[in-house]
Each structure stands twice: as structure tokens, then as C-alpha cells.
Amino acid sequence: MSYRNPPLPQPTEQQLQDARQPDLATPTPIPSASGTNGTQQLTPMADSAATAGQEIINVRTDLFNLSFDTKGAQIVGAELYLSRPEDPDAVHNFVLLENGENTYTVQSGLIGDAGKNYPNQNTIFRMVSNETEMSGDTLAVVFEAESDGLKLTRTYTFHRGSFKIDVNDSVSNISAEPQTPSLYLQITRDNHDAPGGTYFYKTFSGFAMYTDQNRFEKISFSDIDKNNLSHASHTNDGWISFIQHFFVTAWVPEEGKERHYNIRKIASNLYAISAIEPLGTIQPEATVSSNSVLWVGPQAKEQLSAISTGLDLVVDYGWLTIIAKPMFKFMTWLYSFIGNWGWTIVVLTIIIKIILYPLSAASYRSMARMKNVGPRMQAIKEQYGDDRQKVNQAMMELYRTEKINPLGGCLPILLQIPIFLTLYRVILASVELRGAPWILWIQDLAVADPYFILPAIMTATMFLQFKLNPTPPDPMQARIMMIMPLVFGAMMFMFPAGLVLYWVVNNILSIMQQQYITRRLARASNDSKM
């Protein structure tokens, strides 16, 4: 496998301005430098097939199988060990970071004055720690490198049961003159498609960041290509990330420290987001330390929210967030008792149907009355023939006298649409449902039914509902109603099984409710005639 190092982070325009006109009261993020334009040129060292001292070191924890490259002391591979509470022995591995055929890596290092070559992602580090496999609750992996008067000691600390990685960069001035470096944290990725989603539904893959000023922002590859960027560049809060279906990689710099954010295209299909933190002037024999958090793992809302403000927003429910968040919390509460996400969806559907029963009952009563007056409606059509005005007048009079709402049959469907869309977003965005089994052939509620059994059942139940409902008087409307089950059924063949399960249970309960109400009305009608 070959490895390639993306270029170092380029300074933003604001940083370049700071470099040209340094403020003596505060450390400049990118120090001034000699050269033709008076600014720093950040040109990476040329890669070679084999750099002296470069090697790949494998590190294992309870949740990670990691590959560290001594060139840059960077993580170039991360395989995640994912298990489920109901079956902790079944491990579902997932490769998140890689640097071979595809590029998705994290880097950090030091930059400074032009002509300075501080330890960065192109520098050969030496591993000074001995442990490469976790045996206790924590594992510290330590690298060191010296260059141009600075010594950088980087410590990655892993914690049992967590995808959070604490990163400490300790910078010591081993020269006889002051040094003014800046620390960069970077995520680099090419534009290859992330797993997840189908032709009918797509999940977002791209960069995201958060600042108190601009809040949560998503930046797609096309935004970068078009230079359609308006993100905050100079702040002392926030974080940077790359998000994809169910997973996220995020750098969280130390809170309260000045940092500059930079997003750019660095090759034909290679993109990067960086946070650059000025470390100030380091006097000879002095040491400056910076702490940051690196998250490489699933979009686990509670754990992410505990790390930094707004980091849980990477679990993106879109414009349905205001409904989706409480729904997911309620589902999580149900799951704590049930222990199976499939049955949780079934119970949730039953609860929703109970809550909506009064409205559904009114609709079903209206449809039952309409079905009973079907012969009278046909007689009206035969009486007035093609005179549409008189047919409509007579129909409206019939509806009024029989207390029928002609749109009543649409009400249950209209009520289900926001619930359906919300549950769709919850299932699509919640990593908790990834790999979650239900029963028998459904072993992952977050992907399509492998045998299309649930979509077939859903289509059949929709046809049955159509047969139970009164036939629309308009022939065109009747044909549309006949086609709808086929259209919906075809769409559901590619949707997550958890979503189809909700619709199937909802349809079955609707049929039961409708039959119950129709029979009650029939008995009441017969009793009144006696």
C-alpha cells in the first residue's frame, strides 16, 4: 500500500494580512517572513517511495486498529470495532481513515517563518513510547521530532470504551533564539463516495464546522469547488470535522485559544480543512503546550455533546430537527426497556396510532358513510349525465345531508406524512440503528430489506386499504388511487427496513381500526332500523 501526504495548510488572507502587519501586542498566527512577497510559503517536501526512517506502526485498543506513519506522526488508517448492546460479542468493523487508494487522514504539525522547517506532517518522528496495545484503561502513544530549533512531542491518549482521543502537542525551544510557531490541525479527504444511502436517498458527505459566531455549517465539495465559502475564519472557539453517513472525524482545539480556520482544494480531487493556532513567542529553553481532542468514530450524540458545544449537531436531522430530537429521545427511552430497535419501532407506531385515534376514527366514519351512499352517488351521475355543475351540486347536497367530509379519507395519510418524514430522518441519521436486527431475515434496520418482504407486505396492505375505502367518483382519481400502492411500494424497496416496518405496522393497524369502526356503524345502522 502506498501513502501520500497532502500539502501543509495554506494561510488564509487574514493570516497573510497579519503576517504583513504584525501586532506586537498579540502573537501573529503566521509570522512574517522574508521572500519576494513578504509572506510564508508553505510548500511540502517532495514525497518519495521510501523515506529514511519512515515506517508504519500498528496500535490496538478495545475500539481501534490504528496505523501510525512515523512521517508526520499521523494516523493514516483507522479501523473501528463496533458492537451492539444486545450482542456485544458480534463486532462490526468499519474502516474510517485510510491513505491508499482513497485518502482520508488527519494531520497536525508546526508552521512558522518562511525558511523555517518546523516538525510537520513531512517530518520523520520517532516513537518514544513502548506500548502499542491497550492493557489498562488508557494507552499513551508518544512521538518526538526536532527541526529548526524546535522539539515537538506529540502524545495521543486513548481511553477504553471511547472514540475520543486526547492529543497533547508540547513544543520546546531548543535553539538560542526566540521562535514563533503556529500549530495546525487538519483533516484531508478526497471526494470518494462514502458508504450509505441509495439512489432514492442520499446522505451528506463533506466538511462541517462550528463557531459561536456562525453556529453549525456544512461545506460540500461543490461549495469548495465553486469557492462558495462564508465560514468564520478567525475566532477562539469551535471545531472542524468531516461527516459522512453515521460517522464523523473531528478536531476540537483547546477552548478559548485563538485559531484560524481554512478550507480549500489542494489537488484535483483532494480537499482539506484546517485549524491553525498561534503558539506565541517561545523563548530559548521554554516549552509551550497545546491540548486538543480528536474524535474518530460514530456519530454518538451524548458523547459528542460532552466534548464540545454543538458537536452533537453532526447528527443532522435537517429541518425536522425540532420534531426528530424528541422522537429519538422517546425511542431511546423505549429501547431501554425493550432492548430491540425493531420492536421499539413497532411499539412507537402503536403509540402514535393510539394518540391519533380520535382523528382517524372521524375520518374512517366519514369514509364508511361515503361507501354506504355509493349507490345514491351513482344514481346522481346517471341522472345528470355530463352536466358536471349539476352533478357537483347534487353531490355537495348529499354530503351535507349525510354529514360526509369528502376529504376525510385523506386525513390519515396527511397526518402520517410528517411522522413518516421525521422517522425517516431519525433512522437515516442515528448510528444506533446501524446493524440493529429485528427478527429473522431483518438483521439491519438501517438498510433495505434484503429479500424485499416488508415492501411487498406494505404494497399489499395499501391495496387492501384502497379496497376498503369508497371508490372515488372521478374515474381519473380512482385510477390514481390504484397506482399509488405500486408507486409507494417501488420506493420502499430501497428504503431502510426500519422505515418500511413502521409503514407496514401503521397500515395493518389502520386496516384494523377501519374495520372496527365500519362494523360499529353497520351495527348501529341495523339497530336503528329495528
Question: Model confidence over 176-211: pLDDT tens digits?
Answer: 999 999 999 999 999 887 776 555 567 788 899 998
Mean pLDDT of the region 445-455: 84
Question: Binning pLDDT at 50, 70 and 90, where does residue 315 land?
Answer: confident
Mean pLDDT of the region 356-373: 67
- Give the C-alpha separation, 506 to 80, whole Å: 36
Calculate what percentage of the chain has a pLDDT beyond 70: 71
Render pLDDT for 126-146 as a digit per residue (tens, 0 to 9).
Answer: 999 999 898 989 999 999 999
Calculate what percentage of the chain has a pLDDT beyond 90: 27
For residue 273, the model assigns a pLDDT of: 93
Q: Are strands 64-69 and 56-60 parallel, antiparallel or unpaired?
A: antiparallel
For residue 448, the model assigns a pLDDT of: 82
First and final C-alpha spacing in the chain: 87
Q: Are strands 126-127 and 138-147 parallel, antiparallel or unpaired?
A: antiparallel
Render pLDDT for 373-392 as a digit per residue (tens, 0 to 9).
Answer: 666 666 666 666 666 666 66
- Give the C-alpha separation, 142 to 131, whole Å: 9
- Give the C-alpha separation, 316 to 203, whole Å: 10
Beta carbons within 8 Å of 216's beta carbon, 6+ residues apart: 208, 209, 210, 310, 313
Q: Are 281 and 182 in contact (CB under 8 A)?
A: no
Q: Taking the model in full, what pTM does it have?
A: 0.77
Work out the burial of residue 222: count CB atoms within 10 Å of its CB; fewer than 13 is exposed, 13-18 middle, 19 or more buried: exposed
Mean pLDDT of the region 292-315: 90
For residue 39, the model assigns a pLDDT of: 30
- Lowest mean per-residue pLDDT among 11-25, 102-116, 189-203, 385-399: 11-25
Render pLDDT for 242-273 as a digit per residue (tens, 0 to 9).
Answer: 998 889 999 999 888 888 999 998 888 899 99
- Give the C-alpha separation, 349 to 342, whole Å: 11
Which of 5-33 are b and which e, b meaning 16 or more Cβ less than 10 Å from the residue's Cβ?
A: bbbbbbbbeebbebbeeeeeeebbbbbbb
Cell of 62: 478495545
What H or E segment, with its residue span, contains residue 65? strand 64-69
More confident residue, 79 or 395: 79
**3 state SS of 69:** strand
Question: Binning pLDDT at 50, 70 and 90, where does residue 34 land?
Answer: very low
Cell of 24: 506586537
- Give the C-alpha separation, 197 to 199, whole Å: 7
For residue 526, the model assigns a pLDDT of: 59
Render pLDDT for 456-486 as a digit per residue (tens, 0 to 9).
Answer: 888 888 878 777 665 555 556 556 666 666 6
Closest by CA to 152, choosing from 244, 322, 243, 282, is 282
For residue 317, the model assigns a pLDDT of: 79
Mean pLDDT of the region 27-38: 28
Give the mean pLDDT of the chain: 78
What ranges in 385-474 are assigned the alpha helix state H?
A: 388-402, 411-429, 453-468
pLDDT above 50 (res 45): no
Going from the N-terminus, what domains does the chain have, and what CATH number goes with each? 13-41+53-316 (2.70.98.90), 323-529 (no CATH)
Residues belonging to the chain: 530
Closest by CA to 244, choosing from 166, 319, 321, 298, is 298
Cell of 378: 351513482
Contacts 24+ apart (CB under 8 A), 144-148: 145/73, 145/119, 146/119, 146/174, 147/117, 147/118, 147/119, 147/123, 148/112, 148/116, 148/117, 148/118, 148/175
For residue 364, the model assigns a pLDDT of: 65
Ramachandran angles phi, psi of 2, nearest 5°: -95, 150
Q: Are 75 and 84 in contact (CB under 8 A)?
A: no
For residue 384, the model assigns a pLDDT of: 65
More confident residue, 40 or 488: 488
How many other CB atoms are there within 10 angstroms of residue 104's CB atom?
A: 21
Q: Are 342 and 373 in contact (CB under 8 A)?
A: no
- What sign for the dihedral angle of Cα 461, 463, 467, 470? positive
- Give the C-alpha separation, 82 to 94, whole Å: 7
DSSP 476-523: HHHHHHHHHHHHHHHHHTTSBHHHHHHHHHHHHHHHHHHHHHHHHHHH
Render pLDDT for 493-528 as a digit per residue (tens, 0 to 9).
Answer: 778 888 889 888 988 888 887 777 777 766 665 555
Closest by CA to 270, choosing from 165, 186, 192, 335, is 192
DSSP 102-120: SEEEEEEEEE-STT---S-
Q: Are 243 and 204 in contact (CB under 8 A)?
A: yes
- Give the C-alpha separation, 212 to 215, whole Å: 5
